[in-house]
Amino acid sequence: MEYAQVMISLQISLLLIISQSHILPLTTSKIPSTSLLHPPNKLHFHHNITLTVSLRVGTPPQNITMVLDTGSELSYLNCNLTQPTTLNNQTQPPFDPTQSTTYTTIPCTSPTCTNRTSDLSIPASCDPTRQVCHATLSYADMSSAEGDLASDTFHVGNLDISDTVFGCMVTESSSNPVEDAKTTGLLGMNRGSLSFISQMDLRKFSYCISSGLDEPGVLLLGDDQNVTEWLGLGYDVTLNYTPLVRISDPLPYYNRVAYTVQFKGIKVGDKILDLPESLLQPDHTGAGQTMVDSGTQFSILLGPAYTALRSEYYDQTKHILGDLGEPDYTFAGVMDLCYRVPCNQTVLPDLPTVTLLFEGADMQVSGTDRLVYRVPGETRDNDAVYCFTFGNSDLLGVEAYIIGHHHQQNVWMEFDLEKSRMGLAPLNCDLAVQKLGLVY
């Protein structure tokens, strides 16, 4: 679920299977047997602004690159054969369903079309001419995609996941077509019945996002191991868990298949903001839920919470960073607390930490790279423009809190669907990648 402008990068990944008591590097060619019903599989992804993983789809397999998106349900691939995409200055063809012997469209009469698409923002419809299920996806950044609901075999490492349902899209409109064209599609990872995680029947997955703009991260599909045990990092890594909130009754502004947590407050430095409890939980319409979304870059707060955070952060930083001095300037449509920093200043001063408080767990946003973002191409005389990495939902028109992946950097993020909880732990993701043997 993409709420801000994005850029794309990628790298292919390998498979790792871990037994219940051992860890092996990804470069190992022999894979031990395991008693796990669904053995853990590790993919590593790269990000500069959007997270991507590389898979293979079809028979014979075609290499594809997909955005990792915990905010979306239905995965989709670009199937427009007249529009090849470009990545790393090389032509990347779209997925060609005509070259796959295992590809099939979903008929209108299939329960997958009539029942399982009910949680999509736009339920599937029927193409009466071909009697094929038609899928339409739309996102808050005004991008959209249309095409057939179809199925094919997805290859993840040495696992062949047959009959995986996805959207084979032939029409796309994008808010950022140049960057969006650098991937083959999107990997939906939320709790909906058609998400990739649900179709794999996985009860747990985790990821760790490195802080460098072109550094690999790691995605773990499955696993029941303690993070410290299998990473072997030599220091304590204790996951703190917050419950995943789920309601059964449909509400107009509530996403029932999102990874929703209970927001408890915000702290700037040592000061807890004075926010009413009613502002931090959904109202009777469902507006105000807090979603964890790897498909959104920066974090978005409801207007009153953002205003309080902006005011406090400005007060604590106005003597550290120079004010941009342009009240009407907004970056990416949602961020309006911006600063001027001399272009030749390579190291920014220490900035106050922002701590997001959840039920049972906290997420600390520290370090200048996570707290302020240099706006590409924007300068004022000899100064660069930096903006605070939290945005205002009122400027976006979204009635929700969204925890974006920029603030998930160097945090081990575990999504435990079996116990309906999310685990967080500060972790040097670069070190984790090295320990796991993930390489370009």
Domain's final residue, options 212, 231, 250: 231
Are 254 and 183 found together in one domain? Answer: no
Tens of pLDDT along 172-228?
Answer: 654 444 444 556 888 999 999 999 999 999 888 888 888 766 677 888 888 655 555
Q: Do 266 and 171 fall into the same domain?
A: no
Domain ranges, residue 183: 41-231
Residue type at position 410: N
Residue at 142 is within a domain: yes
Indicate if 244 and 213 belong to the same structural domain. no
Indicate whether 245 belongs to any domain. yes
Domain final residue, candidates 190, 205, 231: 231
Residues 102 and 225 in one domain: yes
* Residue of 85, 74, 83 lying closest to 139 (CA atoms): 74
Which residues in the chain show pLDDT less than 50?
2-39, 86-90, 174-180, 440
Residues 351, 320 contacting (CB under 8 angstroms): yes
Domain membership of residue 33 (yes or no) is: no
Where residue 306 sits, what CATH number does that domain have? 2.40.70.10
Q: Kindly state whether residue 34 falls inside one of the protein's structural domains.
A: no
- Helix count and strand count (H, E) for the chain: 8, 32
Kindly state whether residues 61 and 135 are assigned to the same domain. yes
* 69 plus 182 within the same structural domain: yes
Domain boundary among 213, 231, 249: 231
The structural domain count of the chain equals 2
Residue 321 lies in a domain: yes
Please indicate whether residue 152 is annotated as part of the active site. no
Q: Are residues 69 and 127 in the same domain?
A: yes
Marked catalytic residue, from 119, 152, 223, 293: 293
Question: Taking the C-alpha atoms of 188, 190, 191 and 194 in order, what is their torsion angle to the nearest 10 degrees?
Answer: -10
Is 248 inside any structural domain? yes
**Is residue 339 in a domain?**
yes
Quick one: pLDDT at residue 121? 77
pLDDT at 31: 25
Alpha helices in 173-283 (DSSP H): 177-180, 196-200, 227-231
Position 361, amino acid: A
Residue 324 Cα to chain centre, angstroms: 30
**Which of 69, 119, 148, 152 is an active site residue?**
69
d(CA 219, CA 206): 6
Residue 195 and residue 252 in one domain = no
Does 256 lie in the same domain as 330? yes
Active site residue 127: no
Tell me: do 199 and 253 sit in the same domain. Answer: no
**How far lies 208's CA from each of 38, 43, 394, in Å?**
20, 11, 30
How much is the pLDDT for 3?
A: 42
CA torsion through residues 137, 55, 103, 89, sign: positive
Are 418 and 202 in contact, with CB atoms under 8 Å apart?
no
pTM of the shown model: 0.86
Residues 268 and 383 occupy one common structural domain: yes
219 and 323 co-located in one domain: no
pLDDT, residue 55, reads 86
Classify residue 247: in a domain, yes or no: yes
